[in-house]
Homo-oligomer: A and B are copies of this chain.
Amino acid sequence: MMALDESWYSEIHGKDGSAFSFKIKEKLHEEQTEYQQIAIYQTETFGRLMVIDDCVMLTDRDNFLYHEMMSHPALFTHADPKRVVIIGGGDCGTMKEVLKHPGVEEAWQVEIDQRVTDLSEEYFPELCSANKDPRAHFYFGDGIAWMADQGEAAFDLIIVDSTDPVGPAAGLFTQAFFANCLKALKTGGIMVQQSESPIYHSDLIAGMHRDMKAAGFADTKTLDFPQPVYPSGWWSATMAAKGRDLNNFRETDIANKPFETLYYNLECHHKSLALPEFMKKALAK
């Protein structure tokens, strides 16, 4: 058995018994913020890598998968999303994708740790290319408290672009949080939340469906996509809709979208919604 030496950065997925590693050229930055430890590396083949509290957040090479799939499917499912909020998303990659939609009038990024955004502007400038768009608004503070303080029916779309459901992000995976999102959404509104790995975390995904419905959402659906640098290389997001179902989306608008993507297209929107047999069973329980 070969041990990986110090020239590798390894994320150990403890309870999953696996690890993913990057060959590293150099550590570019490391700091302990008020909330967490952030490190940035230059890798050999994935461009730059951001790590928070020993969890891989993103790389230059493959973040397009996550950011496109956290935003475009939900945006094209909503009839006409004008006011969008991103909870978390401090690297600004989701904001960039959201603002590709000309119909979006206002997008808020509510990130607890301003240092994530500061470091992203320094080390991942491409992700921050839309930050000066006049529609982009930034609030740095606790997303759970912020959401509880919103008025009723303030938003069309809520994207929960969070870390794993441990530590500060645990409160984002609760019925109480979902109920605050429901309240803050207009009728016809949608929330979409990153929901971990289909193969490692199908129980968590099933629990989110139950809790979203218990909070009052009318319909829920999980979508999936490849994400090489996250545990299992396979990731998901779960949508919930207020006062509507999630059976249809704007297919013609997708086919004619006025912007480029690297992964997302009409076929991949359909692709993301097809559930494997084991997921159907997990969600039917």
Q: Does A33 contact B (CB under 8 A)?
A: no
Q: Does A20 contact B (CB under 8 A)?
A: yes
Q: Does A264 contact B (CB under 8 A)?
A: yes
Kindly state the separation between the CA atoms of A270 and B24 in the bound complex, as whole angstroms. 38
Interface string of A225-246 (1 = CB under 8 A from B): 0111000111000000000000
Q: Is the CB of B278 within 8 A of A274?
A: no
Kindly state the separation between the CA atoms of A264 and B8 in the bound complex, as whole angstroms. 36
Shortest Cβ distance from A5 into B: residue: B3
Q: Which residues of B contact A1 (CB under 8 A)?
A: 6, 8-10, 24, 27
Distance of A238 from chain B, by nearest CB (Å):
17
Q: Which residues of B contact A62 (CB under 8 A)?
A: 199
- Partner pick for A21 among B18, B45, B227, B280, CB 8 A cutoff: B18
Interface string of A4-28 (1 = CB under 8 A from B): 1110111010011111111110010
Q: Does A2 contact B (CB under 8 A)?
A: yes
Q: Does A277 contact B (CB under 8 A)?
A: yes
Q: Which residues of B contact A43 (CB under 8 A)?
A: 17
Distance of A225 from chain B, by nearest CB (Å):
9
Kindly state the separation between the CA atoms of A76 and B234 in the bound complex, as whole angstroms. 25
Q: Does A214 contact B (CB under 8 A)?
A: no
Q: Does A250 contact B (CB under 8 A)?
A: no
A1-B6, A228-B234 given; 4 more Cβ-contact pairs under 8 Å: A3-B6, A17-B22, A19-B21, A226-B234
Q: Which residues of B contact A45 (CB under 8 A)?
A: 15-18
Q: Which residues of B contact A21 (CB under 8 A)?
A: 4, 10, 18-21
Give chain A interface residues in 196-222, CB to chain B under 8 Å: 198-199
Q: Is the CB of A22 within 8 A of B18?
A: yes
